[in-house]
Amino acid sequence: TNLAATLQHVSLPPTTLHPLASRHVAVIGAGASGLVAARELRREGHRVVVFEQGDQVGGTWVYTPKIESDPLGVDPRRTVVQSSLYQSLRTNLPREVMGFRDFPFVPRKDDKERDSRRFPGHREVLMYLEDFASEFGIVELVRLETEVMFVGMVDGGKWQVRSKKRDGICLDEIYDAVVVCNGHYTEPRVADDIPGIDSWPGKQIHSHNYRTAEPFQDKVVILIGSAASAADISRELAGVAKEVHVASRSVGDGATGKRPDYDNLWLHSMIKSVHEDSSVVFKDGSAVLADVILHCTGYKYHFPFLETNGIVMVDDNCVGPLYKHVFPPALAPWLSFIGLPWKVVPFPLFEFQSKWIAGLLSNRLALPHKEQMMEDVEAFYSILESSGIPKRYTHNMADYQFEYDDWLAEASGSPGSEIWRKEMYNEAWKNKRVRPETYRDDWEDDHLVLQAYEDFKQILK
Ligand code: FAD
């Protein structure tokens, strides 16, 4: 399927005669998306307040050893922890690709505390985001320890934002626009349709609450999933657990069995059923007596504070209807979402989306009519459907993220993605396939790194 074909050449509506406007905008979340949204909105002349429930900026990249009271992450009364990072996490993208476009993520060799590796540990990413926030004066726009409890429409097309400080004090305010940047790696999705799972006697955990391998010492662990975290965690566990069995929907028949280079790591097809004697039976017929099932099964979009009277819904993990994954047509541009697409290079994509939103709110840019936006969304949905792509893959942009970025750039009147960034991204994924164990320390695209630094030189001058 060529989903990129749904991104037709941008034909901007005729320039409006409205004067440029400065809006009062609420940004929810001070992770990477909220920080760059705040910067772009302020650059465009808007008045911005960023709400952040945590006590520091950085979102996902604020590592904590804490885990939730329900390790599976399904009990609605559990204590929620925002970050899903495990202690050993290093980025899965090279830093040159990962960084914002005009604030290169280059090593800070002047500071011994910093991690100058090309695929650095998570702390380095947090420090980069903190540098970004202070460089662009975003810190002073952020209200820390302030959770948004409710966002809803009021008469006159404005938005009510109710927030609560950690000391319990609530505040109701009215904003012209709301930009939702609350992240989507906090609300676990678990494999709950496995026959027998409700009475399986072992321990169940979601990778959201995985921090280190220690608690799995000498255990037999079943890990469900095959995405980035599953790959990292299964290898880490193999170092301490008795046995690690990875159950994956996407594993081919020929690929099951013991992994070469390991004496305690196996690949299986999906789980068929689990039983009260603690056995786990796979669809390929094999069976294992296990202690733990670790669900590396991803996350759900979750907007517990948002009330749009049914205009925006989450259905099978599709947030919609949204024009270009950002605006509900009926509420555009006054309500927007940053960062929904996945299988992407997140930071630059957030930056492109932010520029578009900021320019639309100021009247510098214009949107098509609501009906046209709705038609565009429906055309996109029908391509997904006719291609047999499940609804929950609506925001999966693996095949066309750079076309999407370039579409946004064109719509915003700004330059698109650098050629080296696209090539380096492709090289990094190829390298990861060829060297799954060592891709973070061994690569062959130094020529692209040189090109990136040529670009950075212009910016860092
Ligand atoms: P978040 O970082 O989750 O930030 C959202 C913020 O909103 C949080 O600070 C939260 O406290 C706040 N918030 C939420 N609800 C409210 C509320 N009601 N009121 C107030 N504040 C609220 N990306 C990469 O580029 N490279 C990588 O190597 C990489 N590795 C990853 C590994 C893991 C395990 C995970 C989970 C993600 C990884 N990512 C990686 C993707 C990562 O999610 C993005 O890089 C990025 O951090 C997402 O930023 P965000 O701002 O959208 O969300």
Mean pLDDT (the chain, rounded): 94
From the CA of 285, how far away is ligand 1's center (Å)?
39
Spatial distance between the Cα atoms of 125 and 188, rounded to a whole number of angstroms: 23
CA atoms within 13 A on the CB side of 241: 28
CA atoms within 13 A on the CB side of 417: 29
Q: What is the pLDDT of residues 397-442, one digit of tens each?
A: 999 999 999 999 999 999 999 999 999 999 999 999 999 999 999 9
Q: Answer yes or no: is pLDDT of 376 > 80.
A: yes
Residue 253 pLDDT class (50, 70, 90 cuts) = low
pLDDT reported for residue 255: 76
Gyration radius of the chain over CA positions: 23
Average pLDDT for 20-24: 95
The best mutation among 52, 60, 151 to test binding of ligand 1, ranked by most ligand atoms within 8 Å of the C-beta, falls on 60
Query: 10: buried, middle or exposed (CB in 10 Å: 19+, 13-18, 0-12)?
Result: middle
Nearest by Cα to 126 from 232, 37, 27, 35:
35
Spatial distance between the Cα atoms of 264 and 261, rounded to a whole number of angstroms: 9
pLDDT reported for residue 191: 83
By alpha-carbon position, which residue is closest to atom 41 of ligand 1? 346
Residue type, 251: V
Q: What is the pLDDT of residues 48-82, one digit of tens each?
A: 999 999 999 999 999 999 999 999 999 999 999 99
pLDDT reported for residue 13: 65
Higher pLDDT, 112 or 164: 164
373 with 332: CB under 8 angstroms? yes
ipTM exceeding cut-off 0.95 for this assembly: yes
Q: What is the pLDDT of residues 306-335, one digit of tens each?
A: 999 999 999 999 999 999 999 999 999 999
Q: Answer yes or no: is pLDDT of 156 > 80.
A: yes
Q: Where are the alpha helices (DSSP H) in 318-395?
A: 346-361, 370-386
Spatial distance between the Cα atoms of 248 and 267, rounded to a whole number of angstroms: 8
Q: What is the pLDDT of residues 81-91, one digit of tens each?
A: 999 999 999 99
pLDDT reported for residue 461: 79
* Chain Cα centroid distance, residue 229: 13
Residue 15 pLDDT class (50, 70, 90 cuts) = low
- Supply the DSSP string of 63-76, one letter for each residue: --S---SSTTS--T
Q: Which helix (H) or strand (E) holds 333?
A: none
Residue type, 69: S
Q: Answer yes or no: is pLDDT of 1 > 70.
A: no
pLDDT reported for residue 368: 96
Q: What are phi and psi of 198, to 5 degrees?
A: -65, -25
From the CA of 67, how far away is ligand 1's center (Å)?
16
By alpha-carbon position, which residue is closest to atom 49 of ligand 1? 32
Residue 12 pLDDT class (50, 70, 90 cuts) = low
- Kindly state the greatest CA–CA separation across the chain: 72
Q: Answer yes or no: is pLDDT of 336 > 90.
A: yes
By alpha-carbon position, which residue is closest to atom 44 of ligand 1? 346
From the CA of 308, how far away is ligand 1's center (Å)?
23
Provide the b/e sequence for 267-276 (b: ≥16 CB within 10 Å).
bbbebbebee
The best mutation among 50, 61, 124, 185 to test binding of ligand 1, ranked by most ligand atoms within 8 Å of the C-beta, falls on 185
Residue 252 pLDDT class (50, 70, 90 cuts) = low
